[in-house]
């Protein structure tokens, strides 16, 4: 059959229509589900139990609030007066804590987790279950606690492995604050979307590095933070307790 200009136009239109019906990008796929929520929000809207969370969602809690989130087989809890963003990374879930306290639970090494607070990066180690807690006291003071298992903490050129039930106060190399919109810490353009401010080390010659070991109780903080660890330790209806081996 001879191809006419109208035939060619029809083929072009058909191609455009098929392209427009292509599947949505992976970034629009659901990331996790809210297991418990009290005085919690996604952006400016209240969020409740059973709500779906998407990559890049801003989750926050008010004073006296809390939020328990499941992403794949991992659990996260935001304590009162906290804020974080969650993403899907190449090796698993990525949580960027911008204020307050985040507790995380990873059951096996197959469930990759990375937590970023200012410029400090926290990654569970080993094959077994790992539970950790991260608190931002100020842009240049982060506390990291290993409740169960080992955790690797990176700040600038320094790296420290926290044994179970160890807590460290960490000084980031730089503090990080978003200029306009949040993008995943795994994105190559992450640092181009932020403003950085150098964090100076303390003047104590005996503690010249970025890591200073602190008492476990100091790392855990107050009773409001213990609520977060308790939520991760209790079983949610229809799911086994994440503390179970």
Lowest-pLDDT choice from 3-7, 209-213, 216-220 = 3-7
Contacts of residue 102, defined as CB under 8 A and 6 or more positions apart, other chains included, come to 76, 77, 78, 79, 82, 84, 95, 115, 117, 133, 134, 135, 228
Question: Nearest to residue 169, comparing CAs of 202, 144, 139?
Answer: 144
3: confidence class by pLDDT, cuts 50, 70, 90: low
Cα separation of 83 and 182, whole Å? 12
What value does the mean pLDDT take over residues 214-243? 56
pTM: 0.76
Read off the pLDDT band of 194 (50, 70, 90).
low
Least trusted range by pLDDT, from 22-36, 103-117, 118-132, 174-188: 174-188
Q: Give one DSSP letter per residue of 26-40, joined into a string.
A: GGGS--EEEEEEEEE
Least confident of 31-40, 137-146, 226-235: 226-235
Has residue 86 got a pLDDT over 70? yes
What pLDDT is attached to residue 27?
46
Confidence bin at 205 (pLDDT 50/70/90): low
- A 10 A CB-CB count for 193 gives 14
């Amino acid at each position: 059959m001879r191809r006419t200009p109208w035939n060619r136009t029809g083929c072009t239109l058909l191609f455009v229509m098929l392209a427009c019906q292509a599947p949505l990008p992976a970034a629009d796929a659901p990331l996790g589900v809210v297991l418990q929520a009290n005085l919690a929000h996604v952006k400016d809207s209240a969020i409740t139990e059973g709500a779906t969370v998407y990559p890049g969602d801003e989750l926050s809690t008010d004073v006296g609030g809390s939020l328990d989130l499941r992403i794949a087989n991992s659990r996260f809890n935001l304590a009162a007066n906290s804020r974080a963003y969650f993403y899907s990374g190449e090796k698993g879930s990525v949580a960027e804590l911008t204020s307050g306290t985040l507790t995380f639970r990873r059951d096996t090494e197959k469930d990759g987790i990375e937590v970023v607070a200012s410029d400090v990066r926290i990654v569970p180690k080993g094959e077994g279950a790992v539970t950790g807690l991260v608190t931002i006291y100020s842009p240049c003071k982060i506390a990291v606690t290993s409740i169960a298992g080992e955790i690797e903490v990176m700040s600038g050129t320094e790296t420290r492995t926290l044994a179970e039930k160890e807590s460290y106060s960490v000084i980031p190399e730089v503090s990080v604050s978003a200029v306009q919109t949040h993008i995943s810490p795994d994105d190559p353009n992450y640092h181009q979307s932020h403003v950085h401010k150098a964090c100076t080390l303390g003047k104590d010659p005996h503690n010249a590095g970025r890591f200073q070991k602190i008492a476990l109780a100091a790392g855990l903080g107050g009773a409001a933070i213990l609520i977060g660890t308790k939520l991760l330790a209790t079983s949610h209806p229809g799911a086994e307790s994440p503390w179970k081996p």
